[in-house]
Amino acid sequence: MMYGYYGSGMGWWIVVSSVFWLALVGVAVWALVRWVSHQTRTGQSSPVGSPGTAPSAEEILRQRYARGEIDATTYEQMRAHLAATAQQRPPVGTP
């Protein structure tokens, strides 16, 4: 009895290759989503600061003031507190 041009085993190869390509596309989509979410989380697409570094406390304070989250009085008080705190600490990297 003839099962077709390629023989009886060809049906399994169709299933296996379909599963392989679906898995490959799934992994590619997963990697793309993970990469995009990582870019968003780290803020590397943001023009503020250099890529891979977190914004400073003073930069965050400026951003909050610019967005209107805090008023001018609060901004000045927090900025003065940050400046006083920075003067009390030794520079990073000194023993």
Q: Is residue 47 part of a domain?
A: no
Task: Return the pLDDT at 23.
Answer: 96
pLDDT digits (tens, 9 = 90+) for 13-42: 888 899 999 999 999 999 999 988 887 776
Output the pTM of the full model.
0.39
**What is the tally of structural domains in the chain?**
2
Q: Is residue 30 part of a domain?
A: yes
pLDDT digits (tens, 9 = 90+) for 39-95: 777 665 555 545 557 788 899 999 999 999 999 999 999 999 998 888 777 666 555
Same structural domain for residues 61 and 36? no
In one-letter notation, the amino acid at residue 39 is: Q
Task: Return the pLDDT at 55.
Answer: 82
Task: Return the pLDDT at 91.
Answer: 61
Are 39 and 45 within 8 A, CB to CB? yes
Same structural domain for residues 60 and 37? no
Same structural domain for residues 65 and 86? yes
Residue ranges making up the domain that contains 19: 1-42
∠ CA 77-81-82, nearest 5°, is 120
- 3, pLDDT greater than 60: no
